[in-house]
Chains A and B, each alone.
Chain A
Amino acid sequence: MTKPTLNRRQLIKLFGASAVAASGLLGASSLAYGKDAHHVVVVGGGVGGATFAKYLRFADPHVKITVIEPNENYITCLRTNDVMVGLHTLDELTFSYEVLKNQYAIQFVFDSVTHVDADKKRVTTAKGDTLNYDKLVVSPGIDFRFEDYEGLSEALSETDLPHAYKAGPQTLLLKKQLESMRQGGTFVLSPPAGNFRCPPGPYERASLFAEWMQKHNPSAKVLILDPKNSHSKFGPFRKGWERLYGFGSDNSLIEWVSLNDGGRVTGVDIANKTLKTDGGLVKYDACNIIPNQKAGKIAQTIGLTDASGWCPVNRQTFESSLIPNIYVLGDSSIADEMPKSGNAANTQAKVAAKAIAAALKGEAPGEAIFANVCYSLVGHRYGISISAIYEVRDNQIVAKGKSAGVSPIVESPAQATLEAVYQKNWHRTFVKDVFG
């Protein structure tokens, strides 16, 4: 394998002429790593891992960066709800690592990590390779608590009851189940309890499924059985459902049952198409249980999780509170008020990139600052958002200033129409910030 190198022209292309001149990046005209180059290994090439690798290259032109990721192409979980109703294809959500490899001199190993020796600072992969690291960054997404539901299992999620909460085959399986449901049928959607990836995701899914039914199965409905009494973007979703789907009326395409009304699902019987809930048995024609969640498997294996199932971190750097020199990004980390979103993972990755670059130079990290902007579709031309800037106060990540808020509910359709435009704009620009 040839070592990736960046010449002066490429550096200028990457960083801009003034930045190259101002920051001494020209010294890094060759990345043929010296013996004493630090090595940062990244486990997981999703939003957190890929953004981190790219931005660590900005922060340190000399460091050797290796990403270990099982898939040669990455499908964003973002916008997979759109795929299930035919607004997009999975191909349009699939991205390669070519730019990161060739333009940012990041090495990729397509493999999975099976073991980490934190004392020796060494990673072992499924194919038997070992890599030594100075800093290890783990960004493994989520794992599911199938055991919280009687009759549910990982195997069943791949055949009959897809969660479709990781992008890929299950996305297409759930799409097929929506499309093949009988006329007038009930599609039951069960969101997770506790902390979970993409808090508005289940409600956006319900919205887009209702819009699809309007056209293809108008006497059907989406029944949300919720283990909570509220949810993300509660007001804007409700208003949108009223406007688009008759929410609250007898003919509503969406019905919502809260925890207090017996909405929690505790089991499933696929033979009889019945769910066991706090409120009794519920028949379904098609069903999407999005199970309760915990940190990705490798985070559990390494010992980065606490009793909550998630990974405690130093909020200023995202270094694990449990194991030094290992950092946890994205959905797996405990980030207090920050939601488990792609945009959150992206900004956590940038904080960690600066913190690690500083640590490798023996410097103290800067003050951490994060952001989240998240758009959801209530209909294909009706968008809503939640956003906030975050800072660290008393060792907790909290909203900064008065930045936290959801879309205002206004009579003019312009707000919702523009937010639907921005949702698409955001995804296109975001994936370029992550992968290119």
Chain B
Amino acid sequence: MKKITPWLAAGLIGLSSHSFAQTQKYDPQAMAWLCAPCHGTNGREFHESMPALAGLNPDYFIRTMIEFREGQRPTVIMDRVARGFTDAEIEAMATWFAQQPAEQWTPEVKHD
């Protein structure tokens, strides 16, 4: 099992009802890549109405997704999306997005 870094574990203490130690079968990156059409490549779209996910506090990511899924937070579409993921899968995505640089994804075009 992947080690959870202390700062991340610290952020999760408040979520005692959701164990982060569960296993899940998907590559976290493969799950996170599904978010790109709305939230940008690697979650790094900072100029649009759908929020960027890169660099997001994992505690916030997990809490928000679970609230969407459980119908506890008003939203337009994220309740439906979140219902596709288990706690463990949400936690794996949270960890992955927290590690992405919190800056706009702008690959620089170079002409040789």
Could you tell me which A residues sit within 8 Å of B by CB distance?
Answer: 2, 4, 10, 13-14, 16-19, 55, 98-99, 102-104, 343, 346-347, 350-351, 354, 366-371, 373, 385, 387-389, 399-405, 407, 415, 418-419, 421-422, 425-426, 428-430, 432-433, 436
Q: List 20 A-B contacts (CB under 8 A).
A: A10-B110, A16-B101, A98-B109, A98-B111, A343-B37, A347-B34, A350-B34, A351-B30, A366-B30, A371-B37, A373-B38, A387-B77, A389-B84, A401-B85, A403-B84, A422-B50, A425-B50, A429-B38, A429-B48, A436-B107
Q: Closest A residue to B37 by CB, please name it.
A: A430
Interface pair A388/B108, CB less than 8 Å apart:
no
Q: A343-B37, A422-B76 are known contacts; what are 19 more A-B pairs with Cβ within 8 Å?
A: A4-B112, A13-B108, A18-B99, A98-B111, A103-B108, A346-B36, A347-B37, A366-B30, A367-B26, A367-B30, A371-B81, A388-B80, A388-B84, A401-B86, A405-B80, A422-B50, A429-B50, A430-B37, A436-B107
Interface pair B81/A433, CB less than 8 Å apart:
no
A351 CA / B31 CA spacing, docked (Å)? 10
Q: How large, as a class, is the contact surface on chain B?
A: 35 or more
Given contacts A102-B111, A102-B112, A367-B25, A433 and B37 within 8 Å (CB-CB): yes
Whether B95 is near chain A, meaning CB under 8 Å from some CB there, is: no
Candidates B25, B33, B40; contact of A432 at CB < 8 Å: B40
In the complex, how many angstroms separate the beta carbon of B29 from the nearest chain A beta carbon? 8
Given contacts A13-B107, A403-B83, A433 and B50 within 8 Å (CB-CB): no
Given contacts A103-B110, A429-B45, A17 and B105 within 8 Å (CB-CB): no
A2 CA / B110 CA spacing, docked (Å)? 13
A387 CA / B49 CA spacing, docked (Å)? 18
A428 CA / B76 CA spacing, docked (Å)? 19
Candidates A18, A370, A419; contact of B34 at CB < 8 Å: A370
Q: Closest B residue to A434 by CB, please name it.
A: B37
A418 CA / B50 CA spacing, docked (Å)? 11
Given contacts A402-B83, A405-B80, A422-B76, A14 and B107 within 8 Å (CB-CB): yes
Residues of A within 8 A of B83 (CB): 401-403, 405
Interface pair B110/A350, CB less than 8 Å apart:
no
Residues of B within 8 A of A104 (CB): 107
Residues of B within 8 A of A14 (CB): 107
A388 CA / B34 CA spacing, docked (Å)? 11
As a 0/1 sequence over residues 51 to 82 of chain B, the CB contacts with chain A under 8 angstroms (1 = contact) are: 00000000000000000000000001100111
A429 CA / B39 CA spacing, docked (Å)? 7
Judged by DSSP, the binding face of B is loop
In the complex, how many angstroms separate the beta carbon of A5 from the nearest chain B beta carbon? 9
Residues of A within 8 A of B41 (CB): 432-433
In the complex, how many angstroms separate the beta carbon of A94 from the nearest chain B beta carbon? 16
Interface pair A432/B105, CB less than 8 Å apart:
yes
In the complex, how many angstroms separate the beta carbon of A13 from the nearest chain B beta carbon? 6
Interface pair B101/A425, CB less than 8 Å apart:
no
Given contacts A14-B107, A16-B100, A387-B81, A366 and B26 within 8 Å (CB-CB): yes
Residues of B within 8 A of A373 (CB): 37-38, 77, 81
Candidates B38, B84, B110; contact of A400 at CB < 8 Å: B84
A421 CA / B49 CA spacing, docked (Å)? 8
A104 CA / B110 CA spacing, docked (Å)? 11
Residues of B within 8 A of A419 (CB): 76-77
A426 CA / B40 CA spacing, docked (Å)? 9
Residues of B within 8 A of A405 (CB): 80, 83
Interface pair B110/A102, CB less than 8 Å apart:
yes
Residues of A within 8 A of B37 (CB): 343, 346-347, 371, 373, 426, 429-430, 433
Q: Closest B residue to A370 by CB, please name it.
A: B34
In the complex, how many angstroms separate the beta carbon of A10 from the nearest chain B beta carbon? 8
Given contacts A18-B101, A429-B48, A433-B41, A389 and B108 within 8 Å (CB-CB): no
Interface pair A389/B85, CB less than 8 Å apart:
yes
Closest 5 CB pairs of A and B: A389-B84, A403-B84, A371-B34, A103-B107, A402-B83
Candidates B81, B99, B109; contact of A103 at CB < 8 Å: B109
In the complex, how many angstroms separate the beta carbon of B35 from the nearest chain A beta carbon? 8
Interface pair A433/B109, CB less than 8 Å apart:
no
A415 CA / B76 CA spacing, docked (Å)? 6
Residues of B within 8 A of A401 (CB): 83-86
Residues of A within 8 A of B27 (CB): 354, 366-367
